[in-house]
């Protein structure tokens, strides 16, 4: 007798597995110094938290997300079973993906920005993520558990429900969103990266946000830069070579501090 694995279980577990596999690939590529946005020395000296603590924090965050995903699939499961099966056309799947991406981007932009603008929330919640001044791949989900619940888990749930995607489709969407989030924190600008070709919201774009001069800009994540453009929080940058090797994202014009 075969062992059946439900789409709901896969939708919960697969993105977590993808997170660590994709992060591991980037950690193996970390020796490509000429494509690094920060030196290894900066990574060790500027970050305010140890990598062991980051791993423990991410694992705890993923445990909470898995519990929330199981609860979400349990609540919506009866509705999905009662509804007629969706045609598996490319157009419908593309529309669901795009809707989910826009919902997630909108939710995360405005909440992420509010975490910065509200001094209490920044000090007690969001500042934990910014202890990684020099981001790296497996630190992408390192944040306060309450922030992770509000920003990532609730954002993911809204994307799932409002797009109308099935649990099976969610396996692919959340795996893709995970890959994109890890890529944005990898600290590398590798040539030919297809994500950097199709999305301007990339590792350099997000690295600007992690620096002191860019902390009030480039809030958008993980897909598009639409809201930064609309809301006037976009900081343009240029990639320049550092004298000691590697790359650096530098703002292309001066900005006034509020």
Tell me the pLDDT tens digit for each residue of 50-84.
999 999 999 999 999 999 888 888 887 644 444 44
- Is there a contact between 11 and 170 (Cβ–Cβ < 8 Å)? yes
Residue 9, in any domain of the structure: no
Instruction: Note down the domain range covering 74.
Output: 18-79+95-251
- Predicted confidence at residue 142, as pLDDT, reads 96
- Alpha-carbon distances, residue 167 vs 8, 27, 89, 170 (angstroms): 6, 30, 16, 5
Residue-wise pLDDT tens digits, 76-109: 764 444 444 555 688 999 999 999 999 999 999 9
Residue 90, in any domain of the structure: no
DSSP category for residue 30: G
Residue 195, in any domain of the structure: yes
Residue 255 pLDDT class (50, 70, 90 cuts): low
- Predicted confidence at residue 78, as pLDDT, reads 46
- Is there a contact between 220 and 226 (Cβ–Cβ < 8 Å)? yes
Residue 70, in any domain of the structure: yes
> Burial code of 43-74, b = ≥16 C-beta within 10 A, e = fewer?
beeebeeebeebeebbeebbeebbebbeebbe
Kindly state the tokens that stand for 126: 């969001």
With 70 as the cut, is the pLDDT of residue 167 above it?
yes
Residue 121, in any domain of the structure: yes
Specify which residues 247 forms β-bridges with: 241
Residue 2 pLDDT class (50, 70, 90 cuts): very low
Number of structural domains in the chain: 1
Tell me the pTM: 0.90
Residue 109, in any domain of the structure: yes
Residue 85, in any domain of the structure: no
């Amino acid at each position: 007798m075969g062992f059946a694995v439900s789409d709901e279980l896969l939708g919960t577990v697969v993105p977590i597995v993808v997170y660590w596999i994709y992060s591991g690939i980037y950690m193996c590529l970390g020796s490509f110094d000429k494509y690094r946005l920060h030196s290894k020395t900066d990574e060790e000296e500027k970050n305010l938290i140890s990598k062991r603590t980051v791993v423990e924090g991410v694992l705890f965050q993923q445990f909470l997300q898995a519990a929330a995903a199981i609860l979400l699939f349990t609540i919506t499961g009866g509705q999905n079973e009662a509804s007629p099966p969706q045609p598996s056309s490319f157009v419908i799947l593309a529309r669901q993906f795009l809707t989910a991406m826009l919902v997630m981007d909108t939710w995360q932009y405005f909440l992420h920005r509010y975490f910065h603008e509200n001094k209490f929330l920044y000090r007690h919640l969001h500042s934990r993520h910014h202890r990684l001044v020099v981001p790296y791949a497996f630190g992408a989900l390192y944040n306060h558990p309450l922030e992770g619940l509000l920003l990532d888990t609730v954002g993911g749930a809204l994307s799932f429900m409002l797009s109308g995607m099935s649990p099976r489709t969610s396996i692919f969407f959340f795996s893709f969103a995970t890959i994109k989030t890890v890529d944005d924190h990898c600290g590398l600008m590798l040539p030919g990266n297809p994500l950097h070709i199709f999305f301007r919201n990339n590792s350099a774009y997000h690295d600007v946000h992690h620096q002191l001069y860019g902390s009030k800009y480039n809030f958008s994540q993980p897909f598009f830069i639409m809201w930064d453009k609309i809301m006037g929080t976009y900081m343009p940058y240029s990639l320049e070579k550092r004298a000691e090797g590697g790359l650096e994202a530098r703002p292309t014009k001066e900005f006034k501090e509020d």
